[in-house]
Every structure is written in structure tokens, then in C-alpha cells.
Amino acid sequence: MKKIDSSLYSLIGSLAVLVAVIGAFFYMWQSSQSAASANVVADARYQVVDIGDTVTVATALVADLASKADLPVVAPTADKVGKENPFKP
């Protein structure tokens, strides 16, 4: 009788674990598909919210506002390009 090498046992074991993991993921994927394809019906007690007018109201509220920020950030010049931090003098 021929003796089987331990590396062959390791290969067979790893393939068995791989098949089990793939099977588990396939089972979870199949079980999630039935729940995802179910029809969703909104309850009649809840009102449908119309947000079409909200955009118009928000635009009117922020139309006269101006930015108060004045940041002294300048673009790097050619002599600073290639440095780790081109904004550092």
C-alpha cells in the first residue's frame, strides 16, 4: 500500500474548505435574492412628501448670501514644484 504525503492531505483539506466557503457564500447570496425581489408597498398611513417646492424656497433663501471667507491660499509657483510641501516657503 502506498503512503500518502502530508502535503496531499493539506491540499485536499484546503480544497474542501474552499468549496465549503464558496457554497456558504452562494447559499447566502441565493437567500438574499428572494428577499430583495419582494414587492414593496408603502403603508397608506404615511403621506408622500413633495420636495419640489423645497428647492425653490432654499434657492430664494440663499440667493442674497455672499461668502465671508478670505483664505490666503495661493497656487504654488514653478520654484516650489517638486517639493514635499509646495505651500511651505
Q: Mind listing the pLDDT tens digit for each residue in 53-89? A: 888 888 899 988 887 777 777 766 666 666 677 677 6
Contact 87, 76 (CB under 8 A): yes
Average pLDDT over residues 10-39: 86
Give phi and psi for 8, each to the nearest 5.
-70, -40
Tell me the average pLDDT across 21-35. Answer: 86
| pLDDT band, very low/low/confident/very high, at 21 (cuts 50, 70, 90) | very high
Does 37 have pLDDT greater than 90? Answer: no
Percentage helix, strand, coil for the chain under 3-state DSSP, each rounded to 5: 50, 0, 50
**pLDDT of res. 1:** 61
The pTM is what? 0.37
Residue 13 pLDDT = 94
